[in-house]
Amino acid sequence: MKTKKFILQGEKIMIQNKTIYFLIDCSGSMYGSRGDAVNTAMQKVVYEALPEIRSKKSDDLALYFMALGFADNGTGNNVIELMPKTALDDFNQWDDIDPETFNGGTPTGEAIQAVIDDILGGTRGEPDKNAVSPAIILISDGLPNGKNPTYEEVLEKADKTSKKCVSAFRRALRVALGISVDDAGRESLKKFGSVSKKMSDAGLSGYYDCSEEYVDEFVEILKSATVKASE
């Protein structure tokens, strides 16, 4: 990601870069109404949330968005790029996830690790020196069951007392949306969420219960989380 600069009253102002990641569960249990709800919500994000973000964004912040899907369908390609990293001004449409994509297990840990790898440099080879803490929005309907790495192993990288801690991941704003999850799934996804006191005071939570039966509510939650994550 290239560093951007602009001139303000004769001075060079450094632009800070922020990425909002969408991690979308594409396991078999998401097939049908749950997958449809995700596509509907993402369309609403593009056409209703992004205009609000554009109107509020400060000139010294460059926003980027990236969407990854995850499912273990036996192909070995458990994390798929649904949308490459895209600048705010270029994020003008959402290509619906093909229904046939929803198949297999739930390797949530691998998807989170893919985000960590990108934060740490990915194909760039080194972290973006002008990046501010990213935001990660996880959408899932159940318990993770991947093993390479496991969900628990990845979350340890957000624990500042752990030798495996990755500071950039620990500082990231993390929000989980559980779609029709049971109690065990809810408690698991809650472990992912982490928001600052400032964001909490602004009304953002680390976890939200959602349902494909109440698509409008799900849409509003995702839109609100995306707008707040951009701040």
112 assigned to some structural domain: yes
The predicted pLDDT at position 9 comes to 46
Find the domain containing 182 and state its range.
14-55+75-229
Q: What percent of the chain has pLDDT over 70?
A: 92
CB atoms within 10 A of CB 86: 15
157 assigned to some structural domain: yes
CATH of the domain at 111: 3.40.50.410
Average pLDDT over residues 56-72: 95
For the chain, give the mean pLDDT.
91
106 assigned to some structural domain: yes
With CA atoms as reference, report the closest residue to 179 among 35, 23, 43. 35
Whether the Cβ atoms of residue 157 and residue 166 lie closer than 8 Å to each other = yes
CB atoms within 10 A of CB 134: 23
- Is pLDDT at 12 greater than 70 in this prediction? no
3-class secondary structure, 122:
helix
Whether the Cβ atoms of residue 177 and residue 210 lie closer than 8 Å to each other = yes
Quote the pTM value: 0.92
Average pLDDT over residues 180-204: 95
Helix ranges restricted to H, the chain:
33-44, 50-56, 108-119, 151-155, 167-170, 183-190, 197-201, 215-229
224 assigned to some structural domain: yes
Between 121 and 18, the more confident residue is 18
6 assigned to some structural domain: no
- Is pLDDT at 125 greater than 80 in this prediction? no
70 assigned to some structural domain: no
- Is pLDDT at 7 greater than 70 in this prediction? no
> How many structural domains comprise the chain?
1
65 assigned to some structural domain: no
Between 201 and 1, the more confident residue is 201
The predicted pLDDT at position 223 comes to 95
69 assigned to some structural domain: no
The predicted pLDDT at position 123 comes to 61
* CA–CA dist 81, 151 (Å, integer): 19
The predicted pLDDT at position 129 comes to 78
- Is pLDDT at 216 greater than 50 in this prediction? yes
Using pLDDT thresholds of 50, 70 and 90, give the confidence band for residue 15: confident
- Is pLDDT at 39 greater than 80 in this prediction? yes
Using pLDDT thresholds of 50, 70 and 90, give the confidence band for residue 11: low
- Dump pLDDT digits (tens) for 130-142: 889 999 999 999 8
Q: How far is CA 19 from CA 26, 32, 64, 84, 111, in A?
A: 21, 29, 5, 11, 16
- Is pLDDT at 5 greater than 60 in this prediction? no
3-class secondary structure, 85:
strand
